[in-house]
Chains A and B, each alone.
Chain A
Protein backbone atom coordinates (compact mmCIF):
# COMPACT_ATOMS: atom_id res chain seq x y z
CA UNK A 1 0.00 0.00 0.00
CA UNK A 2 1.27 3.44 -0.79
CA UNK A 3 0.74 6.66 1.10
CA UNK A 4 -0.04 9.91 -0.65
CA UNK A 5 -0.22 13.13 1.30
CA UNK A 6 -1.51 16.23 -0.41
CA UNK A 7 -1.14 19.78 0.89
CA UNK A 8 -1.50 18.82 4.51
CA UNK A 9 -1.95 21.67 6.98
CA UNK A 10 -2.59 21.50 10.71
CA UNK A 11 -2.89 24.53 12.95
CA UNK A 12 -2.67 24.78 16.71
CA UNK A 13 -4.12 28.19 17.38
CA UNK A 14 -2.33 30.57 15.06
CA UNK A 15 0.77 28.41 14.81
CA UNK A 16 0.98 26.02 11.89
CA UNK A 17 2.39 22.72 13.12
CA UNK A 18 2.26 21.29 9.61
CA UNK A 19 2.31 23.70 6.72
CA UNK A 20 1.25 22.51 3.30
CA UNK A 21 3.22 19.27 3.14
CA UNK A 22 2.89 16.93 0.18
CA UNK A 23 4.53 13.56 0.13
CA UNK A 24 4.35 10.24 -1.65
CA UNK A 25 5.66 6.98 -0.23
CA UNK A 26 5.67 3.95 -2.50
CA UNK A 27 5.01 0.40 -1.37
CA UNK A 28 8.16 -1.23 -0.03
CA UNK A 29 9.86 2.07 0.63
CA UNK A 30 11.35 3.09 3.96
CA UNK A 31 11.03 6.80 4.47
CA UNK A 32 13.06 8.57 7.11
CA UNK A 33 11.30 11.56 8.54
CA UNK A 34 13.79 14.06 9.86
CA UNK A 35 13.51 17.38 11.54
CA UNK A 36 14.43 19.26 14.70
CA UNK A 37 12.18 19.01 17.73
CA UNK A 38 8.83 20.63 17.14
CA UNK A 39 9.17 20.53 13.35
CA UNK A 40 5.87 18.74 12.88
CA UNK A 41 7.01 15.13 12.46
CA UNK A 42 4.82 13.74 15.21
CA UNK A 43 1.83 15.82 14.14
CA UNK A 44 2.11 14.49 10.60
CA UNK A 45 2.28 10.94 11.91
CA UNK A 46 -0.73 11.50 14.13
CA UNK A 47 -2.65 12.67 11.09
CA UNK A 48 -1.64 9.67 8.97
CA UNK A 49 -2.70 7.29 11.74
CA UNK A 50 -5.99 9.16 12.06
CA UNK A 51 -5.51 10.17 15.67
CA UNK A 52 -6.06 13.79 14.77
CA UNK A 53 -7.54 15.24 11.61
CA UNK A 54 -5.87 17.76 9.36
CA UNK A 55 -7.33 21.23 8.88
CA UNK A 56 -6.59 21.13 5.18
CA UNK A 57 -5.33 18.59 2.71
CA UNK A 58 -5.89 14.90 2.15
CA UNK A 59 -4.20 11.64 3.03
CA UNK A 60 -4.73 8.72 0.68
CA UNK A 61 -3.68 5.26 1.77
CA UNK A 62 -3.83 2.57 -0.86
CA UNK A 63 -5.76 5.03 -3.01
CA UNK A 64 -8.49 5.62 -0.45
CA UNK A 65 -8.99 8.85 1.43
CA UNK A 66 -8.51 8.69 5.18
CA UNK A 67 -11.64 10.76 5.67
CA UNK A 68 -13.89 8.29 3.89
CA UNK A 69 -13.20 5.06 5.70
CA UNK A 70 -10.88 5.55 8.68
CA UNK A 71 -11.86 2.28 10.36
CA UNK A 72 -10.96 0.13 7.37
CA UNK A 73 -7.72 2.01 6.69
CA UNK A 74 -6.61 1.80 10.33
CA UNK A 75 -6.61 -2.00 9.99
CA UNK A 76 -3.68 -1.73 7.60
CA UNK A 77 -1.58 0.56 9.76
CA UNK A 78 0.73 -0.38 12.59
CA UNK A 79 1.71 2.58 14.74
CA UNK A 80 4.32 3.10 17.40
CA UNK A 81 3.46 6.46 18.96
CA UNK A 82 6.01 8.85 20.41
CA UNK A 83 7.14 7.85 23.94
CA UNK A 84 5.65 4.41 23.35
CA UNK A 85 2.56 4.53 25.59
CA UNK A 86 1.57 1.10 26.97
CA UNK A 87 -0.81 -0.23 29.59
CA UNK A 88 1.73 -0.50 32.38
CA UNK A 89 -0.35 -2.71 34.64
CA UNK A 90 -0.79 -5.47 32.05
CA UNK A 91 1.50 -8.46 31.57
CA UNK A 92 3.24 -8.43 28.18
CA UNK A 93 1.42 -11.47 26.88
CA UNK A 94 -2.04 -10.19 27.89
CA UNK A 95 -1.32 -6.84 26.35
CA UNK A 96 -0.30 -8.35 23.04
CA UNK A 97 -3.38 -10.56 23.10
CA UNK A 98 -5.55 -7.52 23.61
CA UNK A 99 -3.86 -5.75 20.70
CA UNK A 100 -4.35 -8.80 18.49
CA UNK A 101 -8.04 -9.08 19.35
CA UNK A 102 -8.75 -5.41 18.87
CA UNK A 103 -7.08 -5.60 15.47
CA UNK A 104 -9.70 -8.15 14.48
CA UNK A 105 -7.43 -11.17 14.38
CA UNK A 106 -9.53 -14.34 14.60
CA UNK A 107 -9.48 -15.96 18.02
CA UNK A 108 -7.72 -19.15 16.92
CA UNK A 109 -4.87 -17.18 15.32
CA UNK A 110 -4.28 -14.87 18.28
CA UNK A 111 -2.01 -17.19 20.30
CA UNK A 112 0.09 -17.90 17.21
CA UNK A 113 0.54 -14.25 16.33
CA UNK A 114 1.44 -13.33 19.91
CA UNK A 115 4.03 -16.12 20.05
CA UNK A 116 5.45 -15.03 16.71
CA UNK A 117 5.80 -11.41 17.84
CA UNK A 118 7.43 -12.46 21.11
CA UNK A 119 9.92 -14.52 19.11
CA UNK A 120 10.72 -11.75 16.62
CA UNK A 121 11.19 -9.08 19.26
CA UNK A 122 13.05 -11.38 21.67
CA UNK A 123 10.65 -10.93 24.57
CA UNK A 124 10.44 -14.58 25.54
CA UNK A 125 12.07 -14.28 28.95
CA UNK A 126 9.91 -11.26 29.84
CA UNK A 127 6.55 -12.31 28.52
CA UNK A 128 4.85 -12.94 31.87
CA UNK A 129 6.13 -9.79 33.52
CA UNK A 130 4.00 -6.69 33.85
CA UNK A 131 5.00 -4.00 31.38
CA UNK A 132 5.76 -1.59 34.25
CA UNK A 133 8.49 -3.98 35.41
CA UNK A 134 10.33 -4.00 32.09
CA UNK A 135 13.37 -1.93 31.21
CA UNK A 136 12.98 0.79 28.61
CA UNK A 137 14.51 -1.32 25.86
CA UNK A 138 12.11 -4.18 26.45
CA UNK A 139 9.17 -1.78 26.58
CA UNK A 140 10.25 -0.45 23.22
CA UNK A 141 10.13 -4.01 21.89
CA UNK A 142 6.62 -4.44 23.27
CA UNK A 143 5.69 -1.23 21.45
CA UNK A 144 7.07 -2.59 18.21
CA UNK A 145 5.36 -5.93 18.76
CA UNK A 146 1.95 -4.29 19.22
CA UNK A 147 2.49 -2.23 16.06
CA UNK A 148 3.26 -5.31 13.97
CA UNK A 149 0.95 -7.88 15.49
CA UNK A 150 -1.69 -7.71 12.78
CA UNK A 151 0.93 -7.82 10.03
CA UNK A 152 0.03 -4.36 8.72
CA UNK A 153 1.05 -3.19 5.29
CA UNK A 154 2.04 0.20 6.61
CA UNK A 155 4.22 0.86 9.62
CA UNK A 156 4.46 4.30 11.18
CA UNK A 157 7.20 4.41 13.79
CA UNK A 158 7.83 7.53 15.85
CA UNK A 159 11.42 7.29 17.09
CA UNK A 160 11.57 3.51 17.15
CA UNK A 161 15.06 3.15 18.59
CA UNK A 162 14.93 5.71 21.38
CA UNK A 163 16.10 4.23 24.66
CA UNK A 164 17.71 1.14 23.18
CA UNK A 165 21.32 0.07 23.64
CA UNK A 166 23.59 -0.17 20.56
CA UNK A 167 23.01 -3.92 20.13
CA UNK A 168 19.27 -3.54 20.29
CA UNK A 169 19.41 -0.59 17.91
CA UNK A 170 21.27 -2.72 15.39
CA UNK A 171 18.68 -5.49 15.80
CA UNK A 172 15.71 -3.17 15.42
CA UNK A 173 17.26 -1.53 12.35
CA UNK A 174 17.78 -4.93 10.80
CA UNK A 175 14.18 -5.82 11.60
CA UNK A 176 12.90 -2.61 10.04
CA UNK A 177 15.04 -3.23 6.93
CA UNK A 178 13.59 -6.72 6.58
CA UNK A 179 10.04 -5.51 7.10
CA UNK A 180 10.60 -2.69 4.66
CA UNK A 181 11.03 -5.07 1.76
CA UNK A 182 7.32 -5.65 1.48
CA UNK A 183 5.85 -3.01 3.76
CA UNK A 184 5.68 0.73 3.55
CA UNK A 185 7.53 2.22 6.48
CA UNK A 186 7.70 5.79 7.73
CA UNK A 187 10.02 6.34 10.65
CA UNK A 188 10.89 9.55 12.40
CA UNK A 189 14.11 10.15 14.22
CA UNK A 190 16.72 12.72 14.91
CA UNK A 191 19.51 10.19 14.98
CA UNK A 192 21.09 10.81 11.60
CA UNK A 193 23.18 7.66 11.16
CA UNK A 194 19.97 5.75 11.72
CA UNK A 195 18.41 7.30 8.68
CA UNK A 196 21.41 6.45 6.56
CA UNK A 197 21.46 2.90 7.87
CA UNK A 198 17.78 2.09 7.38
CA UNK A 199 16.03 4.45 5.01
CA UNK A 200 15.68 4.49 1.25
CA UNK A 201 14.58 8.05 1.25
CA UNK A 202 14.90 11.05 3.51
CA UNK A 203 12.34 13.70 4.09
CA UNK A 204 13.42 16.71 6.12
CA UNK A 205 10.92 19.16 7.54
CA UNK A 206 11.45 22.31 9.51
CA UNK A 207 8.79 24.50 11.12
CA UNK A 208 6.12 22.42 9.45
CA UNK A 209 7.51 22.88 5.95
CA UNK A 210 9.28 20.50 3.64
CA UNK A 211 12.94 21.50 3.22
CA UNK A 212 14.44 18.46 1.50
CA UNK A 213 13.32 15.21 -0.07
CA UNK A 214 15.60 12.61 -1.63
CA UNK A 215 18.09 9.83 -0.99
CA UNK A 216 21.05 10.46 1.31
CA UNK A 217 23.30 10.63 -1.74
CA UNK A 218 21.20 13.07 -3.69
CA UNK A 219 20.93 15.34 -0.68
CA UNK A 220 24.71 15.30 -0.31
CA UNK A 221 25.26 16.17 -3.95
CA UNK A 222 22.86 19.04 -3.72
CA UNK A 223 24.37 20.41 -0.54
CA UNK A 224 27.99 20.26 -1.52
CA UNK A 225 28.08 21.29 -5.18
CA UNK A 226 31.64 20.12 -5.97
CA UNK A 227 33.60 17.08 -4.81
CA UNK A 228 36.16 17.60 -2.11
CA UNK A 229 39.30 15.53 -1.62
CA UNK A 230 41.31 15.46 1.57
CA UNK A 231 44.97 15.18 0.64
CA UNK A 232 48.10 14.76 2.74
CA UNK A 233 51.47 15.36 1.13
CA UNK A 234 54.69 15.02 3.11
CA UNK A 235 58.37 15.75 2.59
CA UNK A 236 57.91 19.19 1.09
CA UNK A 237 57.48 22.80 2.02
CA UNK A 238 53.84 23.39 2.84
CA UNK A 239 53.51 26.67 0.97
CA UNK A 240 55.14 25.23 -2.14
CA UNK A 241 52.77 22.29 -2.07
CA UNK A 242 49.84 24.66 -1.63
CA UNK A 243 50.86 26.74 -4.63
CA UNK A 244 51.53 23.66 -6.77
CA UNK A 245 48.13 22.21 -5.94
CA UNK A 246 46.40 25.46 -6.76
CA UNK A 247 48.10 25.66 -10.12
CA UNK A 248 46.58 22.35 -11.21
CA UNK A 249 44.01 22.81 -13.94
CA UNK A 250 41.31 20.57 -12.46
CA UNK A 251 41.47 22.23 -9.04
CA UNK A 252 39.12 25.07 -8.25
CA UNK A 253 40.21 25.85 -4.73
CA UNK A 254 42.58 24.61 -2.02
CA UNK A 255 42.16 25.01 1.76
CA UNK A 256 44.50 24.17 4.57
CA UNK A 257 42.88 21.46 6.62
CA UNK A 258 45.76 20.97 9.03
CA UNK A 259 49.01 22.91 8.60
CA UNK A 260 51.00 20.77 11.04
CA UNK A 261 50.24 17.56 9.22
CA UNK A 262 50.38 18.97 5.69
CA UNK A 263 46.72 18.28 5.06
CA UNK A 264 44.69 20.08 2.40
CA UNK A 265 41.10 20.15 1.29
CA UNK A 266 41.06 20.21 -2.49
CA UNK A 267 37.88 21.29 -4.24
CA UNK A 268 37.98 19.73 -7.66
CA UNK A 269 36.37 20.36 -11.01
CA UNK A 270 36.74 16.91 -12.50
CA UNK A 271 37.70 13.33 -11.78
CA UNK A 272 41.13 13.92 -13.34
CA UNK A 273 42.38 15.66 -10.23
CA UNK A 274 43.47 12.51 -8.36
CA UNK A 275 45.79 11.51 -11.19
CA UNK A 276 47.12 15.05 -11.47
CA UNK A 277 47.95 15.18 -7.79
CA UNK A 278 49.71 11.84 -8.00
CA UNK A 279 51.80 12.92 -10.98
CA UNK A 280 52.66 16.20 -9.29
CA UNK A 281 53.97 14.36 -6.25
CA UNK A 282 56.07 12.01 -8.37
CA UNK A 283 57.57 14.93 -10.28
CA UNK A 284 58.58 16.88 -7.17
CA UNK A 285 59.53 13.82 -5.14
CA UNK A 286 56.84 14.43 -2.49
CA UNK A 287 55.18 11.59 -0.66
CA UNK A 288 51.43 11.28 -0.99
CA UNK A 289 50.21 9.57 2.20
CA UNK A 290 46.50 10.23 2.11
CA UNK A 291 43.85 10.93 -0.46
CA UNK A 292 40.22 10.51 0.60
CA UNK A 293 37.03 11.71 -0.99
CA UNK A 294 35.44 13.94 1.61
CA UNK A 295 31.72 13.47 2.04
CA UNK A 296 29.51 16.13 3.48
CA UNK A 297 28.02 14.57 6.54
CA UNK A 298 24.28 14.31 6.84
CA UNK A 299 24.59 16.31 10.05
CA UNK A 300 25.92 19.26 8.10
CA UNK A 301 23.13 19.04 5.55
CA UNK A 302 20.60 18.79 8.33
CA UNK A 303 22.03 21.78 10.16
CA UNK A 304 22.26 23.84 7.02
CA UNK A 305 18.66 23.15 6.07
CA UNK A 306 17.08 23.58 9.46
CA UNK A 307 18.99 26.51 10.94
CA UNK A 308 17.89 29.91 9.79
Chain B
Protein backbone atom coordinates (compact mmCIF):
# COMPACT_ATOMS: atom_id res chain seq x y z
CA UNK B 1 0.00 0.00 0.00
CA UNK B 2 2.86 2.37 0.86
CA UNK B 3 4.51 1.66 -2.46
CA UNK B 4 1.27 2.35 -4.33
CA UNK B 5 0.98 5.67 -2.54
CA UNK B 6 4.60 6.65 -3.36
CA UNK B 7 3.98 5.93 -7.04
CA UNK B 8 0.62 7.73 -7.02
CA UNK B 9 2.14 10.80 -5.40
CA UNK B 10 4.87 10.99 -8.00
CA UNK B 11 2.32 10.62 -10.79
CA UNK B 12 0.11 13.40 -9.41
CA UNK B 13 3.14 15.68 -9.10
CA UNK B 14 4.19 14.89 -12.63
CA UNK B 15 0.67 15.72 -13.88
CA UNK B 16 1.01 19.14 -12.29
CA UNK B 17 4.67 19.64 -13.25
CA UNK B 18 3.95 19.03 -16.90
CA UNK B 19 0.90 21.34 -16.72
CA UNK B 20 -1.28 18.52 -18.10
CA UNK B 21 -3.33 18.64 -14.94
CA UNK B 22 -3.81 22.39 -14.98
CA UNK B 23 -4.76 22.51 -18.66
CA UNK B 24 -7.17 19.61 -18.29
CA UNK B 25 -8.85 21.05 -15.23
CA UNK B 26 -9.20 24.47 -16.84
CA UNK B 27 -10.70 22.90 -19.97
CA UNK B 28 -13.03 20.71 -17.96
CA UNK B 29 -14.27 23.60 -15.79
CA UNK B 30 -14.48 25.90 -18.80
CA UNK B 31 -16.58 23.57 -20.90
CA UNK B 32 -18.86 22.30 -18.19
CA UNK B 33 -19.21 25.79 -16.66
CA UNK B 34 -20.07 27.35 -20.01
CA UNK B 35 -22.76 24.84 -20.87
CA UNK B 36 -24.11 24.62 -17.32
CA UNK B 37 -24.54 28.34 -16.74
CA UNK B 38 -24.34 30.30 -19.94
CA UNK B 39 -25.38 28.45 -23.06
CA UNK B 40 -27.85 25.89 -24.37
CA UNK B 41 -30.20 24.08 -22.03
CA UNK B 42 -28.50 25.56 -18.97
CA UNK B 43 -29.79 25.76 -15.44
CA UNK B 44 -31.66 29.04 -16.00
CA UNK B 45 -33.27 27.70 -19.14
CA UNK B 46 -34.59 24.68 -17.26
CA UNK B 47 -35.66 26.87 -14.36
CA UNK B 48 -35.11 24.13 -11.83
CA UNK B 49 -32.78 24.01 -8.83
CA UNK B 50 -31.09 20.92 -10.16
CA UNK B 51 -27.61 20.02 -11.39
CA UNK B 52 -28.96 17.60 -14.00
CA UNK B 53 -27.73 19.77 -16.86
CA UNK B 54 -24.23 19.90 -15.33
CA UNK B 55 -24.11 16.11 -14.98
CA UNK B 56 -25.19 15.75 -18.58
CA UNK B 57 -22.38 18.05 -19.74
CA UNK B 58 -19.74 16.56 -17.46
CA UNK B 59 -20.71 13.13 -18.75
CA UNK B 60 -19.44 14.21 -22.15
CA UNK B 61 -16.47 16.34 -21.09
CA UNK B 62 -15.12 13.53 -18.92
CA UNK B 63 -15.41 11.16 -21.86
CA UNK B 64 -12.73 13.20 -23.69
CA UNK B 65 -10.89 14.47 -20.63
CA UNK B 66 -9.97 11.08 -19.16
CA UNK B 67 -8.26 9.45 -22.17
CA UNK B 68 -6.22 12.67 -22.44
CA UNK B 69 -5.13 12.21 -18.84
CA UNK B 70 -4.37 8.50 -19.02
CA UNK B 71 -2.71 8.46 -22.44
CA UNK B 72 0.74 9.23 -21.08
CA UNK B 73 0.68 6.94 -18.03
CA UNK B 74 2.38 3.96 -19.64
CA UNK B 75 2.93 5.09 -23.24
CA UNK B 76 5.40 7.77 -22.18
CA UNK B 77 7.30 5.37 -19.92
CA UNK B 78 7.36 2.77 -22.68
CA UNK B 79 8.79 5.33 -25.06
CA UNK B 80 11.45 6.79 -22.78
CA UNK B 81 12.32 3.40 -21.26
CA UNK B 82 11.68 4.58 -17.70
CA UNK B 83 9.29 1.67 -17.32
CA UNK B 84 12.36 -0.56 -17.10
CA UNK B 85 13.86 1.60 -14.38
CA UNK B 86 10.57 1.61 -12.48
CA UNK B 87 9.78 -2.10 -12.73
CA UNK B 88 13.26 -3.17 -11.65
CA UNK B 89 12.74 -1.33 -8.36
CA UNK B 90 11.27 -3.47 -5.58
CA UNK B 91 7.71 -3.07 -6.81
CA UNK B 92 5.21 -5.40 -8.42
CA UNK B 93 3.48 -4.69 -11.72
CA UNK B 94 0.20 -4.43 -9.86
CA UNK B 95 1.51 -1.77 -7.49
CA UNK B 96 2.65 0.33 -10.45
CA UNK B 97 -0.72 -0.02 -12.18
CA UNK B 98 -2.70 0.84 -9.06
CA UNK B 99 -0.40 3.76 -8.26
CA UNK B 100 -0.96 5.27 -11.70
CA UNK B 101 -4.67 4.48 -11.55
CA UNK B 102 -5.18 6.18 -8.20
CA UNK B 103 -3.19 9.19 -9.37
CA UNK B 104 -5.63 9.60 -12.26
CA UNK B 105 -8.60 9.19 -9.93
CA UNK B 106 -7.17 11.79 -7.55
CA UNK B 107 -6.88 14.26 -10.40
CA UNK B 108 -10.46 13.61 -11.51
CA UNK B 109 -11.63 13.99 -7.94
CA UNK B 110 -9.85 17.35 -7.75
CA UNK B 111 -11.54 18.45 -10.98
CA UNK B 112 -14.96 17.39 -9.69
CA UNK B 113 -14.36 18.95 -6.29
CA UNK B 114 -13.74 22.27 -8.04
CA UNK B 115 -17.34 22.17 -9.27
CA UNK B 116 -18.68 22.13 -5.71
CA UNK B 117 -19.34 25.90 -5.91
CA UNK B 118 -22.03 24.96 -8.44
CA UNK B 119 -23.72 22.89 -5.77
CA UNK B 120 -23.53 25.73 -3.26
CA UNK B 121 -24.84 28.27 -5.79
CA UNK B 122 -27.78 26.14 -6.88
CA UNK B 123 -28.70 25.24 -3.32
CA UNK B 124 -28.91 28.98 -2.56
CA UNK B 125 -31.21 29.58 -5.53
CA UNK B 126 -33.72 26.91 -4.69
CA UNK B 127 -34.37 23.62 -3.02
CA UNK B 128 -31.62 21.27 -4.27
CA UNK B 129 -32.20 17.53 -4.08
CA UNK B 130 -29.26 16.44 -1.92
CA UNK B 131 -29.65 12.71 -2.64
CA UNK B 132 -29.89 13.25 -6.37
CA UNK B 133 -26.82 15.50 -6.39
CA UNK B 134 -24.82 12.96 -4.41
CA UNK B 135 -25.83 10.20 -6.82
CA UNK B 136 -24.92 12.42 -9.76
CA UNK B 137 -21.42 13.00 -8.46
CA UNK B 138 -21.09 9.32 -7.63
CA UNK B 139 -22.12 8.49 -11.20
CA UNK B 140 -19.50 10.89 -12.58
CA UNK B 141 -16.83 9.33 -10.36
CA UNK B 142 -17.83 5.83 -11.43
CA UNK B 143 -17.78 6.53 -15.16
CA UNK B 144 -14.46 8.32 -14.68
CA UNK B 145 -13.08 5.28 -12.89
CA UNK B 146 -14.31 3.04 -15.71
CA UNK B 147 -12.85 5.19 -18.49
CA UNK B 148 -9.61 5.64 -16.57
CA UNK B 149 -9.13 1.86 -16.41
CA UNK B 150 -9.75 1.61 -20.16
CA UNK B 151 -7.35 4.50 -20.77
CA UNK B 152 -4.69 2.87 -18.63
CA UNK B 153 -5.01 -0.31 -20.67
CA UNK B 154 -4.72 1.40 -24.05
CA UNK B 155 -1.73 3.36 -22.76
CA UNK B 156 0.00 0.15 -21.71
CA UNK B 157 -0.21 -1.44 -25.17
CA UNK B 158 1.67 1.29 -27.02
CA UNK B 159 4.51 3.75 -26.78
CA UNK B 160 2.61 6.39 -28.72
CA UNK B 161 0.39 8.69 -26.68
CA UNK B 162 -1.85 9.60 -29.62
CA UNK B 163 -2.52 5.91 -30.31
CA UNK B 164 -3.31 5.44 -26.62
CA UNK B 165 -5.70 8.42 -26.65
CA UNK B 166 -7.53 7.41 -29.82
CA UNK B 167 -7.91 3.75 -28.91
CA UNK B 168 -9.26 4.72 -25.48
CA UNK B 169 -11.79 6.96 -27.19
CA UNK B 170 -12.63 4.20 -29.65
CA UNK B 171 -13.29 1.63 -26.92
CA UNK B 172 -15.05 4.25 -24.83
CA UNK B 173 -17.32 5.14 -27.73
CA UNK B 174 -18.87 1.66 -27.62
CA UNK B 175 -19.83 2.04 -24.01
CA UNK B 176 -20.75 5.66 -24.41
CA UNK B 177 -23.15 5.48 -27.37
CA UNK B 178 -22.69 2.57 -29.75
CA UNK B 179 -24.11 -0.13 -27.44
CA UNK B 180 -27.12 2.08 -26.81
CA UNK B 181 -27.71 2.60 -30.53
CA UNK B 182 -27.35 -1.12 -31.27
CA UNK B 183 -29.69 -1.99 -28.43
CA UNK B 184 -32.25 0.45 -29.86
CA UNK B 185 -32.48 -1.68 -32.99
CA UNK B 186 -32.84 -4.96 -31.11
CA UNK B 187 -35.75 -6.51 -29.34
CA UNK B 188 -36.20 -8.75 -26.36
CA UNK B 189 -33.55 -10.35 -24.21
CA UNK B 190 -30.59 -9.67 -26.53
CA UNK B 191 -31.51 -6.00 -26.69
CA UNK B 192 -31.61 -5.89 -22.93
CA UNK B 193 -28.14 -7.41 -22.65
CA UNK B 194 -26.61 -4.96 -25.12
CA UNK B 195 -28.39 -2.12 -23.40
CA UNK B 196 -27.01 -3.29 -20.08
CA UNK B 197 -23.50 -2.94 -21.55
CA UNK B 198 -24.10 0.73 -22.30
CA UNK B 199 -22.63 3.15 -19.79
CA UNK B 200 -25.31 5.72 -20.63
CA UNK B 201 -28.02 3.36 -19.42
CA UNK B 202 -26.39 3.03 -16.01
CA UNK B 203 -25.35 6.65 -15.82
CA UNK B 204 -28.87 7.88 -16.43
CA UNK B 205 -30.42 5.72 -13.77
CA UNK B 206 -27.77 6.86 -11.28
CA UNK B 207 -28.05 10.51 -12.26
CA UNK B 208 -31.80 10.26 -11.72
CA UNK B 209 -30.92 9.54 -8.09
CA UNK B 210 -31.51 5.80 -8.09
CA UNK B 211 -28.64 4.01 -6.40
CA UNK B 212 -28.82 0.41 -7.58
CA UNK B 213 -26.25 -2.30 -6.80
CA UNK B 214 -26.64 -3.50 -10.42
CA UNK B 215 -25.08 -0.25 -11.66
CA UNK B 216 -22.27 -0.37 -9.14
CA UNK B 217 -21.47 -3.96 -10.10
CA UNK B 218 -21.47 -2.93 -13.75
CA UNK B 219 -18.91 -0.17 -13.20
CA UNK B 220 -16.83 -2.36 -10.92
CA UNK B 221 -16.63 -5.03 -13.63
CA UNK B 222 -15.43 -2.55 -16.26
CA UNK B 223 -12.81 -1.22 -13.85
CA UNK B 224 -11.69 -4.72 -13.00
CA UNK B 225 -11.48 -5.75 -16.66
CA UNK B 226 -9.52 -2.62 -17.59
CA UNK B 227 -6.99 -3.06 -14.80
CA UNK B 228 -6.73 -6.79 -15.39
CA UNK B 229 -5.97 -6.31 -19.09
CA UNK B 230 -3.42 -3.63 -18.19
CA UNK B 231 -1.66 -6.11 -15.95
CA UNK B 232 -1.65 -8.75 -18.67
CA UNK B 233 -0.31 -6.25 -21.19
CA UNK B 234 2.38 -4.99 -18.80
CA UNK B 235 3.51 -8.51 -17.96
CA UNK B 236 4.21 -9.12 -21.65
CA UNK B 237 7.02 -6.52 -21.60
CA UNK B 238 6.29 -5.50 -25.18
CA UNK B 239 8.87 -5.37 -27.91
CA UNK B 240 9.43 -1.63 -27.53
CA UNK B 241 10.90 -2.26 -24.12
Contacts and interface: CB of A to CB of B under 8 A. Distances in A.
Interface of A: 46, 49-52, 71-72, 74-75, 77, 79, 81-83, 85-90, 94, 98-99, 101-104, 146
Main SS of chain A's interface residues? Answer: loop
19 contacts: A51-B84, A51-B237, A51-B241, A52-B237, A74-B90, A74-B91, A79-B85, A81-B85, A85-B82, A85-B85, A87-B10, A87-B14, A89-B14, A89-B17, A90-B17, A99-B89, A102-B7, A102-B91, A103-B89
Interface in B1-39: 3, 6-7, 10, 13-14, 17-18
Given A88-B80, A89-B14, A89-B18, 9 more contacts: A71-B91, A75-B90, A77-B88, A83-B81, A85-B80, A85-B85, A90-B10, A99-B89, A103-B90
B92 interface: yes
Name B's interface SS. helix
B182 interface: no
A51 B10 CA distance: 21
Given A51-B237, A102-B3, A71 B82 contact: no
A102 B81 contact: no
B81 A71 contact: no
B109 to A, nearest CB: 22
Contacts of A77: 88
The 8 A-B residue pairs with the shortest CB-CB distance in the complex, in nearest-first order: A85-B81, A85-B82, A74-B90, A49-B88, A75-B90, A81-B84, A79-B88, A101-B6
Contacts of B90: 71-72, 74-75, 102-104
A51 B80 contact: no
Contacts of A83: 81
A71 B6 contact: no
